Amino acid sequence: MKVGVVKEIKNSENRVAIIPSSVKEFIRCGHEVYIECGAGIGSGFRDEEYAAAGAIMVEKAEDVWNNIDLLYKVKEILPSEYKYVREDLIIMTYIHSNAHRDETQVLLDAKCPSIALEDITSDNPHRRFPLVANMGELAGKGGFLAACYYAQSIHGGPGLLLNNVCGSDSPIISIIGCGYTGMGAAEMASSLGNTVKMVDINFEIMERAKSMIPRKVYLLYSSRAAIEECLKISDVIINCVLWPKTRKDHLIYREDLKMMKPGAMIIDVACDDGGAVETCRSTTHEDPVYYEEGILHYAVDNIPSAFSKSASIRFSNDSLPYALAVANKGIKQALKDDRHLRAGLTTFDGKLTLKETAEKFEVPWTDPEELIKQW
């Protein structure tokens, strides 16, 4: 199979889907790998490294798109790329179909088979979506580092060093959500001597977090009283809870911001517009912060891209087994053999196969379990 990787064109997206060592794995299995020149530059991987690994380097993105069987990338398909989508091209990427209706419709109209990496599942109950968890950990850590930056007075903050400084009280960092994203933030914050509180509603997840994070991190049940207490005492609130699109309530309301200390900030790693944090709206690396009720909000929706080399290595290594399965077996057999991969199937032969997206857009869908019975 001919596998292709193009340079990501989304603003401030510096990751690349494949690293040179993964190229070697595809070639070892008998496949050809076509890579657009410069695709890895933003992550520190030179064209020469890919060529040495056996990749065929291609000058123009369109020549990659038009001559491959499997497109392997990081971010969703953007409007300027819609013209390349076709029926005999398999696309594997973070599709985010329920957030991009136009993209989803393009995939449907072209009868393009597509697999959303973010929806692939696993048997691990604590890592149900493995290709979300890996980037989530990076996002949690990056979110705390953003707080460190914006806490500085030269960047408009209160001049607070998020660290245990002799003679001063330790800053208080409250983290909503004890999943991998929250634990990433907690690991960074606690390692610098901050007082860290984590809240969650799932005791099983809290117990797992307890076994994996330092003892000085305090775990609280996410009651309304606990949220209010965190709002009152915290220097930084980090939200790591993805909020269902259909929910109309919030964990933190606009009125709640008045409880917060002057100079406190909200880092919303989940970046759900009007989600767990009512006042959240997603931002970009170019324009990352805004203020509501005097409280700084940071809600960059692509934090891992700031750590593009680390993120690309993790992404490539973790997603490689799924991409190799499709390349080795063909998409139908790969889907038949792996129910976790089937969970990521988004479109096939003009049919929408992701229930959540269908419900959001109120359109028909086809269960992948029924679809494979026809093959």
Q: Could you say which of 47, 96, 100, 340 is catalytic? A: 96
- Active-site position among 200, 268, 272, 301: 272
Query: CA 349 to CA 357: how far, in whole Å?
Result: 17
Whether residue 107 contacts residue 114, with contact meaning beta carbons closer than 8 Å, is answered with yes
297 is catalytic: no
Q: Rounded to whole angstroms, what are the CA distances from 333 to 49, 318, 329, 330, 342?
A: 32, 21, 6, 6, 11
Helices marked H in 163-307: 180-191, 203-212, 224-233
Residue 334 phi, psi dihedral angles, 5° rounding = -60, -40
Active site residue 340: no
CA distances in angstroms from 166 to 149, 170, 305, listed in the order given: 20, 9, 34
Backbone angles phi, psi at 235, to 5 degrees: -85, -30
CA 277, CA 76: separation in Å to the nearest integer? 25
Cα separation, 132 vs 298, whole angstroms: 20
Place of tokens 């979506």: 129
> So which residues are the catalytic ones?
96, 272
